[in-house]
Amino acid sequence: MRLSSTVLFVLLIQRTLAYPAISGEIQRERRIVGGELARVEQVPHLVNIRLNRYFHCGGSLVTSRCVLTAAHCIGHNSPNDFVVRGGNTLLSDVGNWRTIEQVFVPPEYNNRTFEHDVAIMRLNTKLQGVNIKPIAIGDFALAQGEYVTVSGWGLTHEHAALPPNHMHTVRLRVLEQAQCKAFYDDYRNVTDTMFCASVPGEKDACLADSGGPAVARGRLVGVVSWGKGRECGRADSPGVYVRLNMVKKWIMSVLYKHC
């Protein structure tokens, strides 16, 4: 049976309102490919960040009052433009949200090189409830070959048009730093504050995972930062993450004063 254009339009609007698509602000410096379904009980620190009502980026609750995400997820937007939702497995879940009172970005952040690509959002009130729990930030250096777990609502393949409604998670291997730099030699500089992680050609972060957590040994060790264009899951373009032990001093100074 064929549907009329009017019916198709209504169905599309209903789907969009159920779990808003990626905001148009950043079309792939936000980056789960090859992952599996997960529930918020497994990652109670994971939050989804909305920009003007639309799903925009991932983030991690690091205190009951503050969320760590990527600086490029903030852009030139006002704190009033954002809402954070926690304790949700599905993007269509609408409970437990907070507005943003203040945003902090390190002075070293560069929106071209993505150096120090982290930001802290101070919520208007504490985010607490069932399946909501802050995660501690690791201060150790990741070893080559070590695995990190990345979670979020990013695209499940690079040609997808909409993020999945259901949270996904994936285990990725930390690549050797020289190899990481070589992959992006003609694209962007990979600095010591960054690391690459993937299972080359199989598993990766993707569009809309940006700002989300990379976890190892039960600690938050990375933030999803950037990749090459819309390429996800390819052997020669692994996801690039902020190495949190290298920027932890700034993070902790903000948490101590404001969170």
Inter-residue contact 160 to 234 (CB < 8 Å): no
SS3 at position 242: strand
Strand locations in the chain (E): 36-37, 46-51, 54-63, 66-69, 82-86, 97-104, 119-123, 147-152, 168-174, 194-198, 213-216, 219-226, 239-243
- The maximal CA–CA distance of the chain, rounded, in angstroms, is 61
Residue 185 a catalytic site member: no
Catalytic residue, chosen from 60, 116, 117, 204, is 117
Alpha-carbon span 74 to 51, nearest angstrom: 9
Nearest to 214 by CA among 191, 237, 244: 244
Taking the alpha carbons at both ends of the chain, their separation in whole angstroms is: 56
Alpha-carbon span 196 to 175, nearest angstrom: 6
Alpha-carbon span 117 to 100, nearest angstrom: 19
Residue 159 a catalytic site member: no
Alpha-carbon span 23 to 166, nearest angstrom: 18
Catalytic residue, chosen from 23, 198, 210, 237, is 210
Residue 117 a catalytic site member: yes
Catalytic residue, chosen from 45, 56, 72, 116, is 72
Tokens of 143: 């070893």
Question: Which positions are catalytic?
Answer: 72, 117, 210
